[in-house]
Amino acid sequence: MTTASASPDVASQVQTTVDTILRRGLVGLEYISLEDPQVGSTPKDTIHTDGSMKLYHYRAQTDEVYRVPLLVVTSLVSKPYILDLTPGQSMMEFLVQQGYDVYLIDWGVPRNEDSSLRLEDYALSRIPECVDRVLEDSGEDELNLLGYCVGGSLALMYMGTHPEAPVGNMVCLTTPVNFKGMGLFSQWTDERYFDVDRIVDTLGNVPGEILLSAFDMLRPTGRLTSPIQVLDRIRDDKYVKSFMMVDRWAADQIPFPGEAFRQMVKELYWKNAMLEGTLELGGQRVDLSGIDVPMIHAMAQHDHIVPYEAAKPALEQVASADTEEVVLRGGHASLVAGGNAMYRLWPKLDQWLSVRSI
């Protein structure tokens, strides 16, 4: 029989772990108990609004900035603060500190009146007006475009309908193009059983709670195993902090604009129109093969929301010969936020963008 005296290492290990849990637990509790954690706090100014949409300009933190401004198009599915999570773990803060002149489109939380917004309102109206505003504000005649998740798809729709867009380079982060590759989402939106018209006609915007349930169902054990993972790495302050913030972001789900949802389901999920080249917005065909700017697409190895098969074809569709595909360890959120991103994506992004921003 093993006794405590026979295994002093085990005893001390347990003691250390318990001490750490108690000590770190307080740190964890701090994050758990925060009603309104400090997110999206990199200093910025709102330079343009349209309905619930806001265009931010991040304040420079360096004496010199790169000549070409960077416009970030965020996702419609979630709040944009995943890109500006918390000081020290914020992609926006990182980019600003590296000397980029950064602008970001925050679509805002859709209100009832936003239920009539269609994909063309984003790709043909709001993105172009933000592009114009960035050029006007920066005094430059071109910009670089970065899109995250569905934000990347919207940016591609904009590029595919604006062959003369003043965009020098494009960055896509885990951007879906092949919606038949969206795994369970493709299954659940099966045309025979999923009555999208009834959903939008009854509810207007698709409630965040429904979307959150769908995301949770992709990883059914997630709610149970996540706390276990935190306990397992309780000694790692940075991990605990980052985990708590990302977890909070994931639960902070916003509604999806109704008409845009109807269009996404019918055009993108049912017809796979973006990949097939048949997507039309406002009477204009979205022609990805007309996109001829240097492009990088970063994807996550364990992305259960936008799987590799859904994102991979983006670069194959464009005309540009100067493209780069990067597959990094991590998941959908940890690709852009937290410790994972800090050491993997951000340096790569800086390396690729810096020489293309002068």
Partner 1 sequence: MSTNETAAPDFSEAWRQWATQSERQWNEFFNQMMGTEEFSQSLGRNLDVFLHFQKTMNEAMGSFFTAMNVPTRTDVLALGDRMLAIENRLAALEAQLSAALAAAPANGTNAKARPKRTRRPPAAAEGETAN
**Of positions 4, 26, 228, 321, contacts partner 1 by CB under 8 A:** 228
Phi–psi pair at 204, nearest 5 degrees: 75, -110
The 10 Å CB-count burial string (b at 16+, else e) for 54-86 is bbbbbeeeeeebbebbbbbbbbbbbbbbbbbbb
Is residue 16 within the footprint of partner 1 (CB under 8 A)? no
Is residue 355 within the footprint of partner 1 (CB under 8 A)? yes
Catalytic annotation on 297? no
Looking at the Cβ atoms of 92 and 157, the one nearer to partner 1 is: 92
- CA gap 117, 46 in Å, rounded: 22
Looking at the Cβ atoms of 19 and 30, the one nearer to partner 1 is: 19
Span of 24-32, 118-126, 173-181, 194-202 interacting with partner 1 by CB under 8 A: 194-202
Is residue 270 within the footprint of partner 1 (CB under 8 A)? no
Query: Which residues 112-131 are close enough to bind partner 1 by CB under 8 A?
Result: 112-113
Looking at the Cβ atoms of 160 and 307, the one nearer to partner 1 is: 307
Pairing of strands 295-300, 70-73: unpaired
Minimum CB separation of residue 41 from partner 1 in Å reads 21
Sequence-ordered list of residues with C-beta below 8 angstroms from that of 262, at least 6 positions apart, any chain: 196, 197, 200
- CA gap 185, 195 in Å, rounded: 14
Minimum CB separation of residue 290 from partner 1 in Å reads 29
Catalytic annotation on 332? yes
Catalytic annotation on 36? no
Contact 47, 101 (CB under 8 A): no
Minimum CB separation of residue 271 from partner 1 in Å reads 18
The 10 Å CB-count burial string (b at 16+, else e) for 320-355 is eeebebbebebbbbbbbbbbbbbebbbebbbebbee
Contact 307, 279 (CB under 8 A): no
Minimum CB separation of residue 277 from partner 1 in Å reads 27
Is residue 49 within the footprint of partner 1 (CB under 8 A)? yes
Look up residue 184 and give its amino acid: L
Span of 3-11, 153-161, 173-181, 293-301 interacting with partner 1 by CB under 8 A: 3-11
- CA gap 204, 198 in Å, rounded: 10
- Report residue 10 as tokens: 């085990």
Span of 61-69, 143-151, 240-248, 340-348 interacting with partner 1 by CB under 8 A: 61-69
Looking at the Cβ atoms of 2 and 33, the one nearer to partner 1 is: 2
From 149, 172, 247, 297, active-site residue? 149
Query: Which residues 325-354 are close enough to bind partner 1 by CB under 8 A?
Result: 354
Contact 120, 113 (CB under 8 A): no
Q: At what angle do helices 222-232 and 237-251 cross, to 10 degrees?
A: 160
Contact 299, 331 (CB under 8 A): no
Mask: binding to partner 1, 153-192, rule CB under 8 A, as x and -?
------------------------------xx--xx-x-x
Looking at the Cβ atoms of 304 and 312, the one nearer to partner 1 is: 304
Is residue 308 within the footprint of partner 1 (CB under 8 A)? no
- CA gap 311, 267 in Å, rounded: 17
**Of positions 47, 135, 326, 342, contacts partner 1 by CB under 8 A:** 47
**Of positions 24, 44, 48, 118, contacts partner 1 by CB under 8 A:** 48
Given its phi and psi angles, is residue 277 left (phi above 0), alpha (psi -120 to 50 degrees) or beta?
left
Minimum CB separation of residue 38 from partner 1 in Å reads 25
Nearest to residue 123, comparing CAs of 283, 297, 353? 283
Question: What does the binding site for partner 1 look like in residue numbers (CB under 8 A)?
Answer: 1-3, 6-7, 9-10, 13, 17, 47-51, 60, 62-67, 99, 101, 111-113, 136, 138, 140, 183-184, 187-188, 190, 192-195, 198-199, 202-203, 217-221, 225, 228-229, 232, 354-355, 357-358
- Which residues are catalytic, by number? 149, 303, 332
